[in-house]
Structure 1
Amino acid sequence: MHTEIARPSDAAAIAAVLHEAAQWLVDRQMPLWAVSDFSEERVQQDVDTGHFLVARVGDDVAGVVRWQREDPTFWPDAEPGTSAFLHKLAVRRAWAGQGVSAALLAFGREHARSLGVRYLRLDCVADRQPLRALYEGFGFTLYDCVLKGRREFARYQIAL
């Protein structure tokens, strides 16, 4: 498995991974993201600005995560320039349980570290225990829980 910053030519594959993950959650009555949010055009904009990391197995994109330097929606209290943030971690079902998520988290951590930030931060819906266990098992610590609309989100960070 190889992880890297996504290339512009990866947009269609990234959109497909995100769409598959969103639909999988809907099918299990655990909706999180709107399937319609992942058009290739919308994803292309984020890829072109370096906001996606990919995990490849051979030529296939097995998983993705959105990487950003600011997050005013979930982390408005973060001191500017001190953190990097991960969102929309998604793995193709064919690669589930094979270390893709950990590889993406590790690459995100190293990418953030290379830029000299102090924290890598992320959030998830607070009632998603398997996802929280993944993050905690990787070394993220719970920072706090916040309400956004009618949902509670757990905010995690890892010191770099």
Structure 2
Amino acid sequence: MNIQEARTSDAPMIASVLQEAAQWLAANGRALWSGAEIGPERVLQDTSGGLFHIAREGEHMVGVMKFELEDAHFWPEALPGTSAYVHKLAIRRAWAKKGVSTELLSYARSRARRLGRAHLRLDCVADRQGLRNLYEGFGFVLHSVVQIGSSSYARYELPTAT
């Protein structure tokens, strides 16, 4: 599997992966991202900013994630420059449960370490037990559960030093 920073030309396919994941979640009664969050314009903007990273198996884009160096929305108390953050982790349904998430998270941890960040952090809706199990199985530790608006979010962190 090859994981790399996405190119601007990858933006339509990244949006497609995110939309596929969002549709699957919604069909199972667990809607997550708004159309604006994963729409072509926003994905192009984020991809142009170097935020999306993609996993490919041969010619197929099998997973994506957004990798950020700051997250004042979910982690307002975090000191700047100390952490990296994963958002919008999505895997094509045909590649679910085949280790793509683990590969992307390993890549994110290594990238954060190379950038001198002590922690890799992420969040998820607190009632998403399957996702929480994935993160905990990878080694993330629950930092806290916070209320933002009408939703509760579980915030996780992982030291980047191994």
Give the TM interval when normalised to the shorter protein: over 0.9
- In structure 2, the partner of 1:37 is 37
Amino acid at match of 1:105: L
- In structure 2, the partner of 1:128 is 128
In the alignment, the residues of structure 2 paired with residue 132 and residue 58 of structure 1 have an alpha-carbon distance, to the nearest angstrom, of 29
1:23–1:35 contact (8 Å) kept in structure 2:
no
Per-residue deviation, 1:153: 0.5
- In structure 1, the partner of 2:59 is 59
Structure 1 gap segments, 5+ residues each: none
Per-residue deviation, 1:127: 0.8
In the alignment, the residues of structure 1 paired with residue 35 and residue 44 of structure 2 have an alpha-carbon distance, to the nearest angstrom, of 16
TM-score normalised by L of structure 2: 0.96
2:21–2:90 contact (8 Å) kept in structure 1:
yes
Structure 2 gap segments, 5+ residues each: none
Per-residue deviation, 1:41: 2.3
* Cα RMSD for the two superposed structures: 0.9
Per-residue deviation, 1:44: 1.1
Per-residue deviation, 1:36: 4.3
- In structure 1, the partner of 2:137 is 137
- In structure 1, the partner of 2:153 is 153
Amino acid at match of 1:157: E
Count of aligned residue pairs for this structure pair: 160
- The correspondence of residues 90-101 of structure 1 with structure 2, limited to 5 A, is 90-101=90-101
Per-residue deviation, 1:69: 0.6
Given the alignment of the two structures, is residue 88 of structure 1 paired with residue 93 of structure 2, yes or no?
no
- In structure 2, the partner of 1:72 is 72
Identity %: 53
TM-score normalised by L of structure 1: 0.97
- SS at 1:124 equivalent: strand
